[in-house]
């Protein structure tokens, strides 16, 4: 399983970086939209849809949501989604201790939250790519932070893990892995941030934003895991060998990109 994960990542990561750097904005936005729609197909199963027509209908709703969002204030959508992610985090804690998800057990809530999260993920990624003169650099740094948190969490948990983080939601995750992920994510920014033309205040803000982003990347991971527990499935799909489905790869991305993009927008000196 580990070898499969490494080989898949070895193929995907260079392709993703190349796409970010070389694809024109229109092609890039469209390509990201395709990935989002694949995630929408998988999310429809997390809602509980069984019929193919219902699942395709949900995918169409996400597509319409992305098109409509082009004409809406993006900072408002990202800000509202951030509030939803805070609710999601509280729901995960509640599910861990009480066994209920503060509304997420309701299909209609999962329908609405999925719509908002998937559309806002598309907005955040496209914004990070095209929103400033350093857009490509910001998006690459965001992904490196997410991957750093993922790798640090995996190896921190594997070699030092002793205390369960959220056993009902994700039994293998540990507090030691969580700390390892946050530390590696911050190290990525400490090293990568020196390549940006930043003042000391901007650099400090970026490290703080990385800390918050790393925390919410874990919320995204646990959030999808909670929904999988609710419908009793192991993976959201099998599109990536060793990694599961699209949402299994996008879970941290969905929360982290929104938080990082919003954090940059809230600091005009950076964005």
The pTM (predicted TM-score) of the whole model is 0.93
Total count of domains within the chain: 1
Cα gap 170→161, rounded to integer Å: 13
Token reading at 70: 């082009």
Q: If residue 166 lies in a helix (H) or strand (E), which one and from where to where?
A: strand 164-166
By residue range, what is the domain housing residue 37? 1-270
Question: Is the pLDDT at 1 greater than 60, yes or no?
Answer: no
Residue 97 contacts residue 90 (beta carbons within 8 Å): no
DSSP assignment of 170-202 equals EEEEEHHHHHHHHHHHHHHHHHHGGGS---HHH
Only one residue has tokens 């969580």, namely 178
Structure confidence by residue, pLDDT tens digits, 124-143: 999 999 887 666 899 999 99
pLDDT tens, position by position, 184-212: 999 999 999 888 889 999 999 999 999 99
Alpha-carbon separation of residue 211 from 104, 142, 160, 181, 182 (angstroms): 26, 12, 21, 10, 7
Q: How confident is the model at residue 234 (pLDDT cuts 50, 70, 90)?
A: confident
* Cβ(62)–Cβ(120) below 8 Å: no
């Amino acid at each position: 399983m580990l070898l499969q994960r490494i080989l898949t990542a070895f193929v995907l990561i260079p392709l993703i970086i190349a796409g970010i750097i070389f694809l024109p904005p229109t092609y890039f936005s469209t390509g990201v939209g395709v990935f989002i729609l694949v995630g929408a197909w998988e999310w429809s199963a997390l809602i509980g849809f069984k019929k193919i027509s219902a699942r395709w209908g949900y995918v169409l709703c996400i597509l319409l949501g992305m098109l409509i969002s082009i004409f809406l204030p993006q900072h408002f959508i990202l800000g509202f989604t951030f509030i939803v992610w805070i609710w999601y985090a509280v729901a995960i804690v509640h599910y861990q201790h009480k066994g209920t998800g503060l509304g997420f057990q309701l299909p209609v809530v999962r329908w609405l939250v999925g719509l908002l999260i998937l559309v806002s993920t598309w907005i955040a990624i496209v914004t990070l790519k095209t929103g400033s003169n350093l857009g490509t650099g910001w998006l690459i740094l965001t992904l490196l932070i997410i991957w750093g948190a993922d790798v640090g969490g995996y190896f921190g948990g594997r070699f030092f893990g002793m205390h369960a983080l959220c056993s009902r939601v994700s039994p293998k995750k540990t507090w030691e892995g969580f700390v390892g992920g946050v530390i590696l994510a911050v190290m990525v920014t400490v090293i990568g941030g020196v390549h940006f033309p930043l003042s000391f205040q901007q650099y400090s803000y970026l490290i703080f934003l990385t800390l918050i982003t790393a925390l919410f990347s874990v919320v995204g991971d646990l959030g999808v895991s909670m929904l999988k527990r609710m419908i009793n499935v192991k993976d959201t799909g099998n599109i990536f060998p060793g990694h599961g489905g699209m949402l299994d790869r996008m879970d941290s991305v969905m929360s982290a990109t929104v938080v990082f993009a919003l954090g940059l927008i809230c600091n005009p000196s950076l964005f």
